[in-house]
Amino acid sequence: MDNDSIKVLVTGSNGQLGSEIKAIASTYPMLSITFTDIEDLDITDEKAVNQAIQSLRPRYVINCAAFTAVDKAEVEVDLATKLNSVAPSLLAKSCKDNGCKMIHVSTDYVFDGESKTPYDEHSQVNPVSQYGISKLNGEKEAFLSGVCMVIRTSWLYSSFGGNFVKTIIRNGKIKPELRVVSDQVGCPTYARDLADLILKIVSKGHKGFIPEIFHYSNEGVCSWYDFACEIIKLSNLDCNVMPIGTIDYPLPAKRPQYSVFNKEKIIKSYHIAIPQWKESLGNCIKILKKEGFI
Ligand SMILES: NC(=O)c1ccc[n+]([C@@H]2O[C@H](COP(=O)([O-])OP(=O)(O)OC[C@H]3O[C@@H](n4cnc5c(N)ncnc54)[C@H](OP(=O)(O)O)[C@@H]3O)[C@@H](O)[C@H]2O)c1
């Protein structure tokens, strides 16, 4: 390993975001990244977290581990709290004690979705689900450490793992018609774009690290229905997509009706151009086609 390389520890690295970081890691040769998931490092285990951080002494910890099953979180509140609220605070404390910085990923579900204008980093938080509550508490705790940058993202998808894009394709291949909610709008985020942003930040060393809250998603706004139509179109599937209301598709956890981010802060701070959601979706679909998923 190069002595000048920047050591990074990734948690939850078998998930969507962690897998994307893994997939592009070789394009950041200045980084020396240790990838872990629950079997190597359970982030709810305080002793294991301290041991891992003390022995590796990374410059950055990127926390991609989370309880992301939004509906399950309504009933598995304790587990969601342990993973999304308590664990980030353990990680952040250990980072602070060992002189490293942390990048923690949070969600648009910290908002209630009642706004009519894009949410910026100062917008009032008010989660309407247990998942949202657990993530909000986690980001607050981690942020208080003073060594943590929080990146809130929304509607994350990837060629890895399970997500809306893959569900629509899987169903679109076998069903003549799909009914998709058209009265919830937001911003899809290709996890590869977010992974690239995070690695850009850590590869700049401490100069690139700002311990504040940031919003990041792809550019553009759509409903789940618009998103599904584009997925079907780009996948060349013969399936009709029908718009329905949230009321016609009841789920255990309430979703924000409107979860559009204002991304000016991250764009200006890191001088980045964020890809449009349709362009990024096309990139993900190309990979899924190559892999034979479509
Ligand atoms: N998915 C979305 O739509 C979305 C939207 C906005 C924000 N986010 C946030 O973005 C981040 C990344 O999400 P993602 O979709 O990449 O998540 P994901 O695919 O669910 O990945 C989470 C990973 O963490 C692992 N994990 C679970 N418990 C753990 C533990 N105790 N210790 C270590 N690892 C553990 C999971 O393993 P198992 O699979 O075995 O449980 C999984 O590999 C999360 O913070 C999430 O809240 C996600």
Mean pLDDT of 98-114: 98
Rounded to the nearest angstrom, the distance between the alpha carbon of 238 and the centre of ligand 1 is 32
Is 258 among the catalytic positions? no
Going by their DSSP bridges, the two strands 189-190 and 240-244 should be labelled as unpaired
Mutate which of 10, 37, 40 for ligand 1 pocket (most atoms within 8 A of beta carbon):
37
pLDDT in tens, 27-63: 999 999 999 999 999 999 999 999 999 999 999 999 9
Give the residue-averaged pLDDT of 71-91: 98
The answer to whether the beta carbons of residues 62 and 36 sit under 8 Å apart is no
Considering 28, 109, 119, 131, which one is annotated as catalytic? 131
Contacts 24+ apart (CB under 8 A), 125-130: 128/254, 128/255, 128/256, 129/70, 129/73, 129/74, 129/253, 129/254, 129/255, 130/73, 130/74, 130/77, 130/80, 130/253
Residue 128 has pLDDT above 90, yes or no: yes
- Nearest atom, ligand 1, residue 160 CA: 19
Whether residue 64 has its Cβ less than 6 Å from ligand 1: yes
Residues 142-155, mean pLDDT to the nearest whole number? 97
Distance from the alpha carbon of residue 142 to the mean position of ligand 1, in angstroms: 16
Query: Which is more confident, 1 or 260?
Result: 260
Q: Can you give the residue ranges of every domain in the chain?
A: 6-163+187-218+260-274
Cα 40 to ligand 1 centroid, rounded to whole Å: 15
User: How confident is the model at residue 3, as a pLDDT?
Assistant: 64
| CATH label, 6-163+187-218+260-274, candidates 3.10.50.30, 3.40.250.10, 3.30.1130.10, 3.40.50.720 | 3.40.50.720
Is the pLDDT confidence value at 101 over 60? yes
Residue 4 Cα to ligand 1 midpoint, Å, equals 30
What are the tens digits of pLDDT across the range 160-194? 999 999 999 999 999 999 999 999 999 999 999 99
Is the Cβ–Cβ distance between 247 and 192 less than 8 Å?
Answer: no
The C-alpha angle 138, 141, 143, rounded to 5 degrees, equals 105
The pLDDT of residue 185 is 98
Question: How many Å apart are CA 95 and CA 61, to the nearest integer?
Answer: 8
Measured from the Cα of 109, ligand 1's closest atom is 6
What digits encode the pLDDT tens for the residues 220-234?
999 999 999 999 999
Give pLDDT, residue 241.
98
pLDDT at res. 2: 60
- Evaluate whether 204 touches 270 at the Cβ level (below 8 Å): no
Average pLDDT, the chain: 97
